[in-house]
């Protein structure tokens, strides 16, 4: 699988639902929530609770590579700009062990969709390079479009000179 641009739909299309019973496990991912923005609103942060360890939460990130292309395009309203950014090219990262263990981080690196790069191929655990996302990232990308309205609140205003930055303490 070689993609030039990876949007959330293309990354989700790369999921192999039969590999390690992914289709069954992603249904267990619940209570995902957006926790904030970083890098001048170019990265959206999420918490995805572990399905197997109560109280354990994975901190995930989605980087929007088309932010500069759309954020200051004032021919569109804020919501349209947010939808364009969310629907554009992205990179992803999950802090769960499976993201690295099953080789998704490596696979995403090879298609330029990984925020943090991985050079070690999963030759033992995933030699056929099946899939692109762990269940947490798959769950996040399933709901990502629904965050456009909230994300639009942080689009720059015409003449503001920059993004509406989220202050420490998160959204609110």
Number of structural domains found in the chain: 1
> Is 42 inside a domain boundary?
yes
d(CA 37, CA 49): 19
Buried b (16+ CB within 10 A) or exposed e, 49-62: bebeeeeebbebbb
> Is 83 inside a domain boundary?
yes
> Is 64 inside a domain boundary?
yes
> Is 165 inside a domain boundary?
no
Please count the helices (runs of H) and the strands (runs of E) in the chain.
8, 4
What are the tens digits of pLDDT across the range 69-128? 999 999 999 999 999 999 999 999 999 998 999 899 999 999 999 999 999 999 999 999
> Is 167 inside a domain boundary?
no
User: 48 pairs with which residues across the strands?
Assistant: 58
Instruction: Indicate the pLDDT class of residue 151, thresholds 50, 70 and 90.
Output: very high
State residue 1's pLDDT score.
38
If one compares 161 and 167, the residue with the highest pLDDT of the two is: 161
> Is 158 inside a domain boundary?
no
If one compares 166 and 145, the residue with the highest pLDDT of the two is: 145
pTM for the model stands at 0.85
Question: Residue 62 to residues 74, 76, 128, 139, 158: CA-CA distances in angstroms?
Answer: 24, 23, 25, 12, 25
> Is 160 inside a domain boundary?
no
Cβ within 8 Å of residue 47, ≥6 positions away:
32, 33, 35, 57, 58, 59, 60
State residue 118's pLDDT score.
97
Range of the domain at 94: 8-152
d(CA 48, CA 31): 7
> Is 172 inside a domain boundary?
no
């Amino acid at each position: 699988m070689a993609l030039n641009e990876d949007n959330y739909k293309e990354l989700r299309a790369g999921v192999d639902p039969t590999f390690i019973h992914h289709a069954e496990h992603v249904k267990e991912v619940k209570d995902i929530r957006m926790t904030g923005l970083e890098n001048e609103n170019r990265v959206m942060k999420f918490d995805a609770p572990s399905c197997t360890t109560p109280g354990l939460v994975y901190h995930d990130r989605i980087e929007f590579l088309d932010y500069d292309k759309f954020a200051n395009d004032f021919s569109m309203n804020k919501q349209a700009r947010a939808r364009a950014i969310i629907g554009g090219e992205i990179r992803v990262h999950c802090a769960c062990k499976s993201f690295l263990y099953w080789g998704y981080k490596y696979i995403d690196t090879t298609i330029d969709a990984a925020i943090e790069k991985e050079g070690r191929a999963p030759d033992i655990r995933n030699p056929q390079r099946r899939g692109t996302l762990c269940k947490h990232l798959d769950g996040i990308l399933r709901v990502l479009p629904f965050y456009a309205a909230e994300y639009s609140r942080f689009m720059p205003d015409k003449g503001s000179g920059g993004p509406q930055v989220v202050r420490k303490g998160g959204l609110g």
